[in-house]
Amino acid sequence: MILRVNRSQLDLLREESRKCFPIEACALLFGSMTDREAVVKKIVIAPNVLRSTVRFGIEPQTLAKAIAQANEEGLEIIGLFHSHPALATPSGVDLQYMRFWSDAIWLILSSTGGSMAAFQMIRGEAREVAIEVEDA
């Protein structure tokens, strides 16, 4: 699997993480997905209602509204973004929730080191997803 994202989208996510630090930033990723690739076409920044440095939560109303709007635009939810105040790898809590989001890609930014990585739960195992950054 490849996650395709453009440079301005990554800049938006990095800026949101910087503004929220030390709280985890979070966002919803919308676009299109096949068996081979997921293409980010829209990002919806979502407030972290937990206001936590180690966990994130998105209000159900925010999630429902963003999904409904994306559906009207012909987009599907392809993943979730959040920042970590540590390495860009899924935490134990992330791994639990990844199981509920089936094919969703989890894009994680280390707000301390700046690295970014993506993961997808496949047959009960979190596997790293390649990220391809495109100019746009």
Annotated catalytic residues are 24
- Beta-carbon contacts of 112 under 8 Å, excluding residues fewer than 6 positions away, are 85, 86
Q: Are 80 and 90 in contact (CB under 8 A)?
A: no
Nearest to 74 by CA among 32, 135, 117: 32
What sign for the dihedral angle of Cα 87, 91, 97, 98? positive
Q: Are 9 and 52 in contact (CB under 8 A)?
A: no
Q: What is the largest CA-CA distance in the chain?
A: 37
